[in-house]
Amino acid sequence: MSSNNTQTQEWQVLSRDHHLAPFSDFKQLKEKGPRIITHAKGVYLWDSEGNKILDGMAGLWCVAIGYGRDELADAASKQMRELPYYNLFFQTAHPPALQLAKAISEVAPDGMSHVFFTGSGSEGNDTVLRLVRHYWAIKGKPSKKVIISRMNGYHGSTVAGASLGGMTYMHEQGDLPIPGIVHIPQPYWFGEGGDMTPDEFGVWAAEQLEKKILEVGVDNVGAFIAEPIQGAGGVIVPPATYWPKIKEILARYDILFVADEVICGFGRTGEWFGSDFYGLKPDLMTIAKGLTSGYIPMGGVIVRDEVVKVLNEGGDFNHGFTYSGHPVAAAVGLENIRILRDEKIVERVKSETAPYLQNRLRELSDHPLVGEVRGVGMLGAIELVKDKARRERYVGKGAGMICRTFCFDNGLIMRAVGDTMIIAPPLVITLAEIDELVEKARKCLDLTLAELEK
Ligand SMILES: Cc1ncc(COP(=O)(O)O)c(C=O)c1O
């Protein structure tokens, strides 16, 4: 254990003796002990050692309105006293879920006015898989089962979520993907574009969708699922040609399009949804995270009216979760959306804070360690390289993890995806806090470079 603080040590012992942590090397964590986060306010976290840390990742991309908003705690407390639990099964409902479904439909793209609630984004994508297959079965085309997804996409950690995702290190554990899910290349120009220009590569990557539809046979393809901007894969902003070309292809074939908006939804791009940002017309949208600003677990699937019309003809949909539309989560979600709307947080991201963040982040492009800075809205990525011109990496050095550790030790959370540093701060971050984020990032890039060149 790394700490001398007895309180921290006590918690680390509890971790060692009783906890199995998500996405962690159990053995290594037992030896090292986790960093213990004790409280938070605005965009800042405090750990049990008393360090104040600027949370450049909004938790896990979710704390849109920032930490410490009493209104959400009050909404939860009021709902817990009134109706702490009831379910939406077997023809019952409760006001918070219904009111939240309406509030979501008001901010969703036109023609998407129904929501199926889940407890998380992963459950949302499990629901997507079942909804897509159910939809085609009702339409008399049960063979349209295959879902096309992308390599290095992230759609969650349940069996369906991890299968839809294209993370090979997840597939390796547990014989994934399950049958009926196929993957096409991702539009990651910096990492995989080779000698093509970004625009050429964007068209090429989009054409892989058409190629796959033809290979599988359109009679067998139910849907294409994609994040408007890949988050966990490394904030991969597709080249400008990518989405227009994908839209052209989708228009040619009778398949559903699912936008996984778990990260992009609820304002992160400066629009309410990533689909609004790119002018996409999804049939289904997976949501979670920003829906409740992470204060309480909740996810869902927003469904286009034409799809609902078909589903209405299909009898029972044999799917749902004990906590689908949980009243306390719904009350929190409703208050969260009220705050996003009343305080014009999404508008402010678009007009003021996102342009400022993107400009300031791009100043880091001049750093010798930085091969590319990209981003949209409150999403950003910094590629760490040895040679800028050739986009060449430091092989086997773990540059990303070194940088991530310097960040943590210097009061900033930036996540490392390989050697790509990523940020997604709370949407309420101020201009002064953006300055602090970028200055800390530069300092940590300096420290990382010095370490790599030792
Ligand atoms: C795009 C996307 N989809 C789905 C998920 C899974 O959501 P959850 O962790 O709530 O199950 C995530 C989580 O990061 C995500 O980024």
- Cβ of 122 closer than 6 Å to ligand 1, yes or no, is yes
* 155 CB within 6 A, ligand 1: yes
pLDDT band per the 50, 70, 90 thresholds, residue 3: confident
In the predicted structure, residue 1 carries a pLDDT above the cut 70: no
Task: Give the pLDDT score at 92.
Answer: 97
Confidence at 231, pLDDT banded by 50, 70, 90: very high
Nearest atom within ligand 1 for CA of residue 61: 14
Produce one character per residue of 192-228: b if its CB has 16 or more CB atoms within 10 Å, e if not: bbeeeebeebbbbbbebbbebbeebeeebbbbbbbbb
Binding site membership of 260 for ligand 1 (Cβ less than 6 Å): yes
Give the Cα separation of 340 and 266 in Å (integer). Answer: 8
**Does ligand 1 come within 6 angstroms of the Cβ of 134?**
no
- For residue 299, the ligand 1 atom closest to its alpha carbon is 10
Q: What is the pLDDT of residue 432?
A: 98
Question: Which two structure tokens, joined as six digits, stand for 303?
Answer: 């469904």
Question: CA-to-CA distance for 240 and 203, rounded, in angstroms?
Answer: 9
pLDDT at residue 12, as a whole number: 96
Question: Do the beta carbons of residue 163 and residue 150 sit within 8 Å?
Answer: no
Q: In 395-430, which ranges are continuous DSSP H helix?
A: 399-409
In whole numbers, what is the pLDDT of the chain averaged over residues?
97
In testing the pocket of ligand 1, which one of 150, 152, 286, 289 has its CB within 8 Å of the most ligand atoms? Answer: 289
For residue 151, what are its two tokens? 């390599």
Q: Which two tokens stand for residue 319?
A: 């799917």
Q: Dump pLDDT digits (tens) for 6-44.
A: 999 999 999 999 999 999 999 999 999 999 999 999 999
**Rounded CA gap, 441 and 439, in Å?**
5
Residue 253: pLDDT over 80: yes
Indicate if the pLDDT at residue 137 is higher than 90.
Answer: yes
Q: How many residues appear in the chain?
A: 454
* Two tokens, residue 385: 């390289």
Q: Are the C-beta atoms of residues 310 and 317 closer than 8 Å to each other?
A: no
Q: How many CB atoms sit inside 10 A of residue 183's CB?
A: 21
Banded pLDDT at 341 (limits 50, 70, 90): very high
> Which amino acid would we find at residue 369?
L
pLDDT tens-digit map of 277-306: 999 999 999 999 999 999 999 999 999 999
The confidence score (pLDDT) of residue 4 equals 82
Which residue of 63, 262, 269, 292 sits with most ligand 1 atoms within 8 Å of its CB, as the best mutation to test the pocket? 262
Q: From the CA of 253, how far away is ligand 1's center (Å)?
A: 27
Kindly list the distances between the CA atom of residue 114 and the CA atoms of 1, 97, 108, in Å, as whole numbers in the listed order. 49, 12, 10
CB-side neighbour CA atoms (13 Å) of 370: 20
Task: Sort strands 221-226 and 256-260 into parallel, antiparallel or unpaired.
Answer: parallel
Q: Is the CB of 127 under 6 A from ligand 1?
A: no
- Ligand 1 pocket check for 65: Cβ under 6 Å: no
Q: Is the pTM of this model over 0.95?
A: yes
